[in-house]
Chains A and B, each alone.
Chain A
Amino acid sequence: DQQVKQNSPSLRVQEGRISILNCDYTNSMFDYFLWYKKYPAEGPTFLISISSIKDKNEDGRFTVFLNKSAKHLSLHIVPSQPGDSAVYFCAASPILTQGAQKLVFGQGTRLTINP
């Protein structure tokens, strides 16, 4: 049973436009959400996170939105750049005191930015 779902396996976006990656979750006990970026032959690297007490977190070109009632989060990248081409994983964590790095991952979305 996939508790964190990324229903789009791939996404193509033109350079300079906005990329929107979506993620849905089913477990109400998740209270912290992260996005990881993965290039080929490398491990995932942390990109941005959001606590369940917030609905938005912004870091430069990257913004994560959380809609708790819908159990949905999204990652916005604007403007998109060719170097953003990678696989993006959404991940969720239960309450912080329960082993914070025990992450539940989505399947990943491969983002391709076309020059």
Chain B
Amino acid sequence: DADVTQTPRNRITKTGKRIMLECSQTKGHDRMYWYRQDPGLGLRLIYYSFDVKDINKGEISDGYSVSRQAQAKFSLSLESAIPNQTALYFCATGRPGDTEAFFGQGTRLTVV
């Protein structure tokens, strides 16, 4: 079983629709992150949370919002999806003082 689980794994949605990507973890880590991967650009940080009451914008937060429902759950929302948000999205977790991030399997999102 994966320690960091993302749902759904694949999603196709229409322009203008609201969509939520979910992430849950069993690693007991306080810190959670959302990254997106685009071809030729690597992974870029969207939002991160150091604990349940802490939410921070990353490099590319425009058009996204997040919710930290519990220590183990961190959701990413696209309020009104647009085609250039088509990408592979990864959730990650980590411990304070560590540098290593632990990634989920990814969600492939296509906006048509």
Q: Which residues of A contact B (CB under 8 A)?
A: 2, 4, 6, 9, 32, 34, 36, 41-46, 49, 89, 91, 93, 96, 99-103, 105-108
Interface range for B:
20 to 34
Contacts of A45 in B (CB 8 A): 103
A-side binding surface: helix, strand, loop or mixed?
loop
Interface centre among B42, B94, B103, B104 (most CB of A within 10 A): B42
Contacts of B45 in A (CB 8 A): 102-103
A42 to chain B, nearest CB (A): 6
Report whether B102 and A42 are in contact in the complex, using a CB–CB cutoff of 8 Å.
no
B-side binding surface: helix, strand, loop or mixed?
strand
Report whether A43 and B42 are in contact in the complex, using a CB–CB cutoff of 8 Å.
no
Report whether B106 and A101 are in contact in the complex, using a CB–CB cutoff of 8 Å.
no
Report whether A107 and B41 are in contact in the complex, using a CB–CB cutoff of 8 Å.
yes
A99's partner among B40, B50, B102 (CB-CB below 8 A) is B50
Bound: A2/B41 CA distance, A: 8
Binary interface profile of B, 33-67, with partner A (CB < 8 Å = 1, else 0)?
10100001111110010100000101000000000
Report whether A46 and B101 are in contact in the complex, using a CB–CB cutoff of 8 Å.
yes
Bound: A91/B90 CA distance, A: 15
A59 to chain B, nearest CB (A): 13
**Closest chain B residue, CB of each to CB of A51:** B99
Known A105-B43, A106-B42: A99·B103 in contact at CB below 8 Å: no
Contacts of A46 in B (CB 8 A): 100-102
Report whether A105 and B48 are in contact in the complex, using a CB–CB cutoff of 8 Å.
no
Instruction: Check B81 for interface membership: any CB of A closer than 8 A.
Output: no
Contacts of A41 in B (CB 8 A): 105-106
A107's partner among B40, B96, B105 (CB-CB below 8 A) is B40
